[in-house]
Structure 1
Amino acid sequence: MRRFLLAACLAVSAAVATAAPLQNIYGRQHQLLDGRWNYIVDPYETGFYNYRREPYDQSASGVGGFYDDRKPRDKDDVVEYSFDGSPTLAIPGDWNSQNAKLEFYEGTVWLRRQFNAAPQAGKRYFLYFGAVNYEAHVYLNGKKLGSHKGGFTPFQFDVTGRLQAGENTLVVKADNTRHQDDIPTVNTDWWNYGGITRDVLLAETPDSYIEDYQIQLAKGDMGRIEGYVQLAGVQHAQEVTVSIAELGVKTAVRTDDHGRAVVSIALPKAKVRYWSPEDPKLYAVSIAAGADKLDDRIGLRSIVTRGQDILLNGKPVFLRGVSLHDENPLIPGRLRGAGDMRMMLQWAKEMNCNYVRLAHYPHSEEMIRLADEMGLMVWAEVPVYWTISWDKPEVYANAAQQLTDLVVRDKNRASVVIWSIGNETPVSAPRNVFMGKLADTVRSLDGTRLVGAALEVHRNGDVVTVEDPLADKLDLASFNEYAGWYWSNNREMLKFSFKVNYNKPVLVTEFGADALGGYHADSDTRWSEEYQDQLYKNTFKLLDAIPGLRGMTPWVLTDFRSPRRPNPVYQDYWNRKGLISETGKKKQAFYTLKSYYEQKQEQYK
């Protein structure tokens, strides 16, 4: 199914990488290509198009663009660019936060990295990008490898036979220009950080290698692992072994002529420690096939719904959550590594969270692995956000590809319990078809997790209704609401009540109010910490009255940057709904939410 979907998306849009990303890329022998990259800002795309707006890389000669990294042949030769004399950016990292002149820049930036390689016979080599926002064109030693669209999902190229022994030149054209027909579209509420925002790796495998695998508890059977192993390369039919030494289990299977083998392993159920926030147990899993061997750390857990309950490992659970962006409020820009990510997740744990909503796009693989390790359940989302071009097949193909890439990358992570297919998408016939197909797609890729979306609510007088045709495709009645901020206020919001027309667990995916950290007034004064705090207290009263309430992710853990928020006194291009300010100080509502979650934890013991 995975290969079919990838092929279908490729047929609709040529702007995808030439090979599906390897599973567990960090488990491979690899060379990190992070560090300082030279860059050239190119708002007119002079390095990509000639004066007649024709791409250089599609010309007969294939030369002439900045990707050639050309040097003058002699003193009479004119070359109007130079990476050697250009400034550098830290990669991974965005350009907006590293150069004040580029703070609001949207457009093309060329980035170059020179590195040494020693390719060996009998090995394959893959150039892997964790994420480039938004459209990337990639060139190695002056030759185009391919392109990719999507600012938050990984992609790779097979560069076997293209690497040079010794020095190699890698050039990336990154373009974060927003377009109506992209995913996300032009209208968002977060900073459009451009550049190579996650790791770049040169990975090495044997000629025949483990391309993909899935190791999970079987749906409905906590005493069995079911999954598969997919091989690629020169020899598809091989024996594969999968073992979990700590549990004393090992199985051998043989792949078919397409390199695929189904895996089924009976577990000594009495010995298994099932992954949970209270006990985030990860087992060392080894997969071997011929000359290739991979080790991973995988948690075993089940997540299902029963009526209005969410059951984790068969027991009812309340999802005590918070939403967060892939952004460090203390250091401008995207989260740059494990230290940044651990800080964000630790703040959530300090608030007594067992769950986080990673909004509004795929966060990094490293973030998901940390959630595995730290014991935080995850809502993972794709940027189908607000109003998309619902009628265009190529837009759907883009969304389906990003969703596929997210599921393929993170399907072995126990922390991921919900796949979200979008946020606040207004109801219409074309939207219903588009989103319904996404729900079908994610279920075809992974039937072991819940499927959700952040729906909109509708007000009729004092009654707030959750009613959306898409809900029939979802496992959860999940929705955003902003009583007391975008509608009503602290004095009047308690007159509202919620009507949820589904016998499903209710998750409130957003609520909140802006508060400028350190600004104090009474609870009727907007922008004050007191207003935000009182809104939280009122919201708990409203939400606790909803039958089936089983979790929430208030908006948002920390203040974050947004060009939509220009108020010079209270915002200054920040969304101030964070429970933690941009200086790292906890606002009053942080402690109110923590106290509420302590009560919920006691209730669900």
Structure 2
Amino acid sequence: MKKLLTTMLLAASGVLAASAANEPLPLIQNVQAYESCSLNGDWNYIVDVQEEGYYDYRMNPMRNGFFINAKPQKPEDLIEYDFDKSPTMKIPSDWNTQDEKLFFYEGTVWFKKSFQAVPMTECRTLLYFGAVNYDCHVWVNGKKAGHHVGGFTPFNYDISDLLKKGENTVIVKVDNKRHAEDVPTQIFDWWNYGGITRDVKLVKVPMNYLENYDLQLMKAAGKAKVRELAFSAKMNAKEAGHQVEVYIPELKLKQQFTTDAEGKVSGILKVAAKKLQLWCPETPKRYDVQLTLDAGMVADSIGFRTIETRGKQILLNGKPIFLKGISIHNEKPNGGGRANSVEDAHTLLSWAKELGCNFVRLAHYPHHEEMVREAERMGILVWSEIPVYWTIAWTNPNTFANAKQQLTDMIARDHNRANVIIWSIANETPHSAERDKFLGGLAKYARTLDNTRLISMAMEVTGASNYVNRLNDNMNEYVDVVSFNQYIGWYRDVNDAPKMKWVIPYDKPVIISEFGGGARYGYHGAKNQRWTEEFQENLYKENTAMLDKIEGLAGTTPWILKDFRSPRRVLPGVQDYYNRKGLVSDKGEKKLAFYVLKKWYETK
């Protein structure tokens, strides 16, 4: 699906220059399908606690900051930094686990990478970042390429006009300080890993290319003999008359379209139902798809399935399914640090498969792309979420725009992945009219981007009275699936579990998006002794028995697969800055509760 670049030097170097405007671009979809050169590897870095490389001593942005990568030209020149003499860090990574001095650091770090370029005029060069946490500015050869805000979604810039023959430099200013108006906001229960946390690539694209495309199986009534695939695409320029072809060799399906004045195409492809094998967890079938714009072709592997609700049921390919899930943070399987490789994804998802899961909640932000793709290959359904978490600045228009952009980029990256069935817009948000307007706007916007999937969010139960819990949330009208978090046994006595009654007054499927409690692996004692494996084991036994009584229960994603780092978890000798609610320890060891959930899922 991707060719090696014959004109690139792969050892930290090599790229292709082209002529194009230096402006931020909409996210390119399926970046793996294009020729690219990785800029991963060793990057020089400078820790800049007071941001002296960007602001002068009056806090005014400078014209000649660290980003110009200045070198002394005369013996008397005063330059108080030197990237080439500074230490190096592996990219992608987080600085917290790469430099022990930066374990708790929140602030600015500068990164610099050099590479070689070969001028080319028949194509464009995009500089692509899988994610940078959180606020980053990018310069190429001392000139501004762009600015991005948001720590978990990809972005790219056309840097064709910034490249030169010979040695080039990319300099990135990364700032992960927390602010009340950010998404997520100032407090959150995971580690604020700073840095260039996902892949960096130089991507070669034609002058005209498919910026985005969508190929989805449409719902059909009954046993239809013919199934329809809805196709749409947008090229990078608003130009009419370009030819777009869709070809699925295995189905012998080929169709051409012509772009309109907006550079868009749309239409329907028809295929005999008996020829089409649908994607599902048991048989995660994908079809090779070739998409051609003029003379340029990109390839993808796309699965076809439908997802919908009927009353309190979730239907996959028209059949009810119980979502046997687990929540997962985007953290490495063994120890801490941001997960960013196929190997990380495979290990985490293999543990989920061992549990008996057919579903994962990727919390509380978009995980790296290979996590979603590996889940698709392994037959695991996905809930994907943006970090609208706890108390957001609901009335701040910039905060809403930030959340909306992260939602846009999450959907743009993954909307052709068959396993993604739920877009989640929030987690545990306090009720208010301002919050309802904010989240309602996100839900309606998400449907304009993708109306083929379900919308949900993790709600809180606020109507508790003795042993009756009533879910009452105005957001029920905006979501397809009612999901909520509950912690009977952890924040309430586990002995209450058999007495609990749940009132969910909505004719919609129910997912318990979180339940669980903490235990330190290897710490044993009585089942009423907190932090022991026996306590967590008993909590899972009591909770699963309680959940079996909930009418309309369509799935669960207990909290959480693996212990993960959090600055809020400070108890010495037990937490040590880890949230211990994992069924697997931070070293990959399975706790007793792992086997309770596994046994329960065997009955579903």
- State the TM-score bracket (shorter-chain normalisation): over 0.9
Map of 1:40-119 to 2, 5 A cutoff?
40-56=46-62, 62=63, 64-119=64-119
1:104-144 Cα offsets, whole Å, 9 max, x none, are: 00000000000112131111111111100000000000001
Q: Is the 8 A contact 1:17 1:156 kept in 2?
A: no
Report what 1:178 is aligned to: 178
> 2-side partners of 1:387 and 1:295: how far apart?
41
Structure 2 residue aligned with 1:592, among 562, 574, 596?
596
Query: What does 1:411-560 correspond to in 2, within 5 Å?
Result: 411-458=415-462, 459-488=464-493, 490-560=494-564
In the alignment, residue 407 of structure 1 is paired with which amino acid? I
Residues 463 and 496 in structure 1, CA contact (< 8 A), matched pair in contact too: yes
Q: Is 1:20 aligned to 2:26, yes or no?
A: yes
Q: For 1:34 and 1:443, how far apart are their aligned partners in 2?
A: 35
In terms of mean alpha carbon deviation, does 68-77 or 172-181 score higher?
Answer: 68-77
The worse-fitting range, judged by mean Cα deviation, of 232-241 and 201-210 is 232-241
Q: CA deviation at 1:74?
A: 2.2
Deviation at 1:336, TM superposition (A): 2.7
Tell me the CA shift for residue 509 of structure 1: 0.2
2: CA distance, partners of 1:220 / 1:195: 46
Q: Is the 8 A contact 1:125 1:160 kept in 2?
A: yes
Given that 2:424 and 2:455 are in contact with CA atoms closer than 8 Å, whether structure 1 keeps it comes out as: yes
Aligned partner letter, 1:47: G
- Does the Cα contact within 8 Å between 1:206 and 1:291 map onto a contact in 2? no
Q: Distance in 2 between matches of 1:264 and 1:290?
A: 20
Shift of 1:231: 1.2
Determine the structure 2 residue equivalent to 1:332: 336
Q: Once the two structures are superposed, what CA deviation does each residue of 1:58-113 show, in whole Å capped at 9, x if it has no partner?
A: xxxx3x20011111112211110010111111101010011111000000000000
Q: Which amino acid letter does the alignment assign opposite residue 408 of structure 2?
A: T
TM-score of the superposed pair, with normalisation by structure 1: 0.94
How do 1:275-286 residues align onto structure 2 when only pairs under 5 Å count? 275-286=279-290
Alpha-carbon distance in 2 for matches of 1:570, 1:238: 62
1:386-405 matches, cutoff 5 A = 386-405=390-409
Deviation at 1:329, TM superposition (A): 4.0
Instruction: Give 1:317 deviation, angstroms.
Output: 0.2
Corresponding residue number in structure 2 for 1:124 = 124
Q: Name the CA distance, whole Å, in 2 between partners of 1:292 and 1:234.
A: 17
1:29 corresponds in structure 2 to 35
Say if 1:591 and 1:493 are closer, same or farther in 2 by CA, change over 3 A: same
Report the Cα distance in structure 2 between the residues aligned to 1:472 and 1:484, rounded to whole angstroms.
Answer: 30
Instruction: Name the CA distance, whole Å, in 2 between partners of 1:497 and 1:590.
Output: 25
**What is the aligned partner in structure 2 of residue 6 from structure 1?**
none
Contact 1:246 1:284 (C-alpha < 8 Å) held by counterparts = yes
- Per the alignment, residue 7 of structure 1 pairs with none
Q: Contact 1:208/1:234 (CA < 8 Å) preserved in 2?
A: no
Which ranges in structure 1 are unaligned for 5 or more consecutive residues?
1-15, 57-61, 601-605
Partners in 1 of 2:567 and 2:207 — Cα distance? 48
1:256 aligns with 2:271: no
Report the Cα offset of residue 331 of structure 1: 3.9
Distance 2:109 2:218 in 1: 46
Query: Is 2:362 the partner of 1:358?
Result: yes
Structure-1 separation of matches of 2:533 and 2:421: 33
SS of corresponding position for 1:492: helix
- The correspondence of residues 368-407 of structure 1 with structure 2, limited to 5 A, is 368-407=372-411
Shift of 1:38: 0.3
Give CA-to-partner distance per residue, 1:539-581, whole Å, 9 cap, x none: 1111111110010000000000000000002100000000001
Q: What percent identity do the matched residue pairs reach?
A: 49
2:583 and 2:590 in contact (8 A); partners too: yes
Aligned residue in 2 for 1:298: 302
Amino acid paired to 1:55: P
Deviation digits for residues 284-326 of structure 1 (CA, Å, limit 9, x no counterpart): 0000011210000000000000001100001100000000000
Q: Shift in Å at residue 263 of structure 1?
A: 2.9
Amino acid at match of 2:31: I
| Counterpart residue identity of residue 55, structure 2 | Y
| Amino acid paired to 1:467 | N
- Taking structure 2 as the reference length, the TM-score comes to 0.94
Structure 2 distance, partners of 1:17, 1:195, is 23
- Answer whether contact 2:240 2:258 (CA < 8 A) is retained: no
Partners of 1:26 and 1:331 lie apart in 2 by 28
Distance in 1, Cα, partners of 2:296 & 2:526: 64
Q: Which moved more, 1:540-549 or 1:554-563?
A: 540-549
Q: Distance in 1 between matches of 2:306 and 2:446?
A: 17
Answer whether contact 2:238 2:261 (CA < 8 A) is retained: no
Q: 1:323 corresponds to which residue?
A: 327
Query: Is this contact kept in 2: 1:320–1:552, CA < 8 A?
Result: yes
Task: Say which is worse superposed, 409-418 or 328-337, in terms of deviation.
Answer: 328-337
- Give the Cα–Cα distance (whole angstroms) in 2 for the partners of residues 298 and 55 of structure 1: 46
Provide the rounded CA distance (Å) in 1 between the counterparts of 2:99 and 2:443.
Answer: 40
Counterpart residue identity of residue 386, structure 2: V
457-466 vs 404-413, greater mean Cα deviation: 457-466
Distance 1:159 1:492 in 2: 60
Asked whether the equivalents of residues 219 and 447 of structure 1 are also in contact (C-alpha less than 8 Å), the reply is no
Superposed CA RMSD in Å reads 1.3
Cα distance in 2, alignment partners of residues 496 and 89 from structure 1:
52
CA contact (8 A) 1:210 1:229 kept: yes
Tell me how far 1:434 sits from its aligned partner.
0.5
CA contact (8 A) 1:491 1:524 kept: no
Mean alpha-carbon deviation: is it higher for 507-516 or for 496-505?
496-505
CA shift at 1:482, angstroms?
Answer: 0.3
Secondary structure of 2:119 counterpart: coil
- Distance, in Å, in 1 between the alignment partners of 2:595 and 2:531 is 18
1:196 and 2:200 aligned:
no
**Equivalent position amino acid for 1:210 in 2:** L
Q: How far does residue 233 in structure 1 lie from its aligned partner after superposition?
A: 4.2
Alpha-carbon separation, structure 1, partners of 2:232 and 2:533: 51
Question: What is the Cα deviation at residue 467 of structure 1?
Answer: 1.1
Aligned-partner SS, 1:118? strand
The letter for the 2-side match of 1:104 is F
Tell me if the contact between 1:247 and 1:268 (Cα under 8 Å) persists in the aligned partners: no
Do 2:488 and 2:496's aligned partners in 1 also have CA atoms closer than 8 Å?
Answer: no
Aligned residue runs from structure 1 range 128-139, under 5 A: 128-139=128-139
CA deviation digits over 1:493-539, x for unaligned, max 9? 32222111111111000000000001011111110111101111111
Select between 549-558 and 332-341 the one with higher mean Cα deviation: 332-341
Deviation at 1:492, TM superposition (A): 3.2
Assess if the C-alpha contact under 8 Å between 1:239 and 1:254 holds in 2: yes
- Name the CA shift for 1:161/1:17 in 2 (closer, same or farther; >3 Å): closer
CA distance 1:17–1:585, change in 2 (3 Å)? farther
Alpha-carbon distance in structure 2 between the residues aligned to 1:493 and 1:543: 9
Q: Among residues 339, 348, 352, which one is paired with 1:348 in the alignment?
A: 352
Deviations 1:7-46 (A, max 9, x none): xxxxxxxxx9811111111111111111010000001000
Give me the whole-angstrom Cα distance separating, in 2, the residues matched to 1:17 and 1:198: 22
